[in-house]
A and B are shown apart, each in its own frame.
Chain A
Amino acid sequence: MQTHQFDVVIVGAGGAGMRAALESSGRTRTAVISKLYPTRSHTGAAQGGMCAALGNVEDDNPEWHTFDTVKGGDYLVDQDAATIMANEAIDAVLDLERMGLPFNRTPEGRIDQRRFGGHTRNHGEAAVRRACYAADRTGHMILQTLYQQCVKQEVAFFNEFYCLDLLLDHDLSSGEVSDGQEVRVAGVVAYELATGEIHVFRAKSVVLATGGAGKIYKTTSNAHTLTGDGMAIAYRRGLPLEDMEFFQFHPTGLAGLGILLSEAARGEGGILRNADGERFMERYAPTIKDLAPRDIVARSMANEVREGRGAGPNKDYVLLDLTHLDPAHIDAKLPDITEFARTYLGIEPYTEPVPVYPTAHYAMGGVPTNVEGEVLRNTTDVVRGLYAAGEVACVSVHGSNRLGTNSLLDINVFGKRAGISAAEFAATAPWVDLPENPSSLVVDELEEMRARPQGERISDIRRELQQTMDTNAQVFRTAESLTTCLADVRALRERYSRASVQDKGRAFNTDLLEALELGFLIDIAEVVVVGALNRRESRGGHFREDYPNRDDAGFMEHTMAYRRPAGTVVDSPAAPAPAGEEIPDPAPGELAVVLGTKPVVTTVYQPMERKY
């Protein structure tokens, strides 16, 4: 075991982590731990754009952007956070340009902008050009540019180090730490993939920036490595997870594969059609049609398929039609995604429509933070020195449904804020002692997993987990499907406790790490399903067929899921479910998902019906 000491440790080297590192490393001794080489992070897969009301190509302003974000999130957005994000968007884009990001340009040489779903002029009048972009590899250019700046600033990276535990000075999962008491972070524990060695990082500030958890689903646009590690690690240590039932299904995944085709395809004029060639979005969102927010488009597509109007031999997808666009325009604006269609489906988008179907894309929920990036441990208290930013976090600027291009913005705005806050806190805070045997939890888990002689394969359990989530907790949900799913997840957890890995070695043991990642996925899946069961309404990305309407009286609040001994009363507990709809208890003796709530911050915009 090795021990390191840094003022600030950032976990994750995607857009959020590196944006934080650029702020923090200039101010204080900072380390970045990442399970991937920074440039392999999934921010690099983002395609379409990053929005800011620059007004370079048409009239726009941050207030319209704020409104769209709030409405897009079906009013579950914290409006103070959304205002900050929209206001700071312009500087966030200009910062990146100054760092060298090669944005596409207007004829005048300014940053060009294009349309994206849900972004409108003057509170919904018409689609507005707000997304700044670099062809259809905007995320790639953001990731490269941030990494370039990290190279310039000589940021200390620990690459292919897996963070497996978070060290706090109190045991929050006991449920015995009272509200108001000071809780501080002490560091993290990481596993070095190349050698199998354990490293303890002592730190005054820790920033979680580990990205999403798309691999709880089978069909997803997310990387194999997006296994919700940061969320699960925090949750296991007793921190709440906020709004996890809201998962975004992106409308246009390549059918059967889940690989994303950016919404930019529709922003540039692409049209969704059913088997009859009908532009069906005209029926569901008469004003902005194909550019309605993702939750609406995804459900409309699933509904077309369900009602028998799907295309293809099995009628199980719809078609994204680009054939009316000029091939030169496609090459200039959408080169990568059209290449995906050619490579992976053998479809030529110039002349043939592309088979598409919704794919699990983005976790709106995550580790709750305030607008400075500080992590909340209940509705009001922060854990001193602990920060989170990016997809792992929930500020909440996305509410129940994120607008396209708002995440690349989120990671830049709140990554920067978290980096500054973490460094400033570390500058004055005294050190906290490491707990005795800081790595014992991790070492025990690893050794137990490695030592188990024979058992079920990790991949079988993972496949079943992803399958039940796809079948039962996807675009359409009911009490019945979710109850089935919860029982499946719990049964899989039990099987997981007896599973084994084949590779028992120390060096580069990805078999072992995949096993630990599955443990994280199971925890996250359970929280998603329990939250979804409890939310007996439909809002944004969460659609309950048995409760098809939004219910502001009952559910205009954030969900807070805590891992606690069953029966523990948490701060601001969730109302009990009506008789017959109780959420089944876990096996006796296990820690349960205990639900609480947190008020939504509403400053200006009162909830209205969401029509497009």
Chain B
Amino acid sequence: MTAVAERSAAAEPKAGEIPSFDVTLKIRRYTPETHGDEPYWEEHTVTAHGTDRLLDALHKIKWEIDGSLTFRRSCAHGVCGSDAMRINGRNRLACKALLKDLNPDKPITVEPIKGLPVIKDLVVDMEPFFASYREIMPFLITSGTEPSRERIQSPEQRARFDDTTKCILCAACTSSCPVFWTDGQYFGPAAIVNAHRFIFDSRDEGGAARLEILNDKEGVWRCRTTFNCTEACPRGIEVTKAIQEVKRAMITRAF
């Protein structure tokens, strides 16, 4: 099915901006309530403006053409982690993918992220993902009496785990991982990133316990260092490096 957005809906172009252009989205849909149990492809063409992101195009389709198109989103600027999807075969956040950077000459393919059960259209069941996250004990573990003021941590100690504190739990990394696709039991990069965030925090005392968990057969050793995760991460986290650091800590017990 192809539909063309009304041109009249196009906003006034602002001087000095990139002119409007048409884009076609080829969307992988799955709507068992109305279209049976098989997923299918659907194309829509909409007019986009200079700074529009893929999320704007999806909204345009939902709001002006087909209200049943379903996807998650909230913040619309890359900080809440709601809208990871496979865009032209690569995992990205729809709200951070600028249309003008996606080669609008060809249809842009949009699919749900892989490896998690699809509920409807671009929405997947996130529970298995969060379950892995919860398993690595993602909270500060300390012993002894609580200090009355803040714990002391030097800027260098703080910098040691800065990168992995940025994670927004979007699942772009985990769902780009070929190991995860074939073995849904694998903890996946995001869980390891969040373990890293605590293992290398000078205030934390749960490192050994977390390493024990990640030493499991579904743990960190399953990583094949394909770097898909690092490429996928919208927060620019060096995911593969974090996983390597956790592996090394497992061997040396130094962290």
Contact = CB atoms under 8 A, between A and B. Distances in A.
Interface string A94-118: 1001111011111111110000000
Contacts of A42: 74-75, 80
A126 to B, nearest CB: 25
A543 B221 CA distance: 61
B231 to A, nearest CB: 17
A312 B14 CA distance: 10
B154 to A, nearest CB: 5
A148 B138 contact: yes
Given A151-B139, A223-B76, A225-B74, A502 B204 contact: no
B61 to A, nearest CB: 11
Interface of B is mostly: loop
A141 B139 contact: no
Interface in B212-254: none
A606 interface: no
Given A44-B79, A140-B79, A94 B33 contact: no
B1 interface: no
B63 A457 contact: yes
Nearest to A501: B67
B77 A259 contact: yes
Q: How large is the interface on A (under 10, 10 to 19, 20 to 34, 35 or more residues)?
A: 35 or more
A45 interface: yes
A299 B24 CA distance: 41
Q: Which of A110, A152, A507, A508 has the most CB of B within 10 A?
A: A508
A532 B77 CA distance: 31
B151 interface: yes
Nearest to B125: A194
Interface in B106-140: 119-121, 123, 126, 130, 134, 137-140
B192 to A, nearest CB: 16
**Which of B71, B80, B138, B139 has the most chain A CB atoms inside 10 A of its CB?**
B80
B154 A105 contact: yes
Contact of A39 (B32, B67, B73, B168): B168
A45 B77 contact: yes
B70 interface: yes
Contact of B150 (A111, A144, A336, A505): A111
Given A44-B168, A94-B150, A502-B67, A224 B76 contact: yes
B76 A148 contact: no
Contacts of A340: 77-78
A543 to B, nearest CB: 26
A545 interface: no
B200 to A, nearest CB: 11
A259 B56 CA distance: 14
Given A98-B146, A502-B68, A109 B153 contact: yes
Contact of A343 (B96, B130, B153, B169): B96
Contact of B155 (A97, A107, A256): A107
A345 B74 contact: no
B185 to A, nearest CB: 20
A511 B59 CA distance: 11
Contacts of B62: 459, 511
Contacts of A336: 79
Interface in A76-99: 93-94, 97-99
A314 B79 contact: no
A105 B157 CA distance: 9
Contacts of A503: 67-68, 70
B82 A312 contact: no
A105 B158 contact: yes
B123 A508 contact: yes
B79 to A, nearest CB: 5
B150 A97 contact: yes
A309 B155 CA distance: 42
Nearest to A194: B119
B117 to A, nearest CB: 11
Interface string B172-209: 00000000000000000000000000100101100000
Nearest to A340: B77
Interface string A143-177: 01000110110000000000000000000000000
16 contacts: A36-B82, A41-B80, A105-B155, A105-B158, A108-B152, A109-B154, A110-B150, A152-B137, A224-B74, A314-B14, A343-B78, A457-B64, A458-B67, A505-B68, A507-B33, A511-B70
- 6 closest A-B pairs by beta carbon, nearest first, are A100-B140, A502-B67, A459-B63, A313-B15, A109-B152, A503-B68
Interface of A: 36-37, 39-42, 44-45, 93-94, 97-100, 102-111, 134-135, 137, 140-141, 144, 148-149, 151-152, 194, 223-225, 256-257, 259, 312-314, 336, 340, 343-345, 457-459, 501-503, 505-511
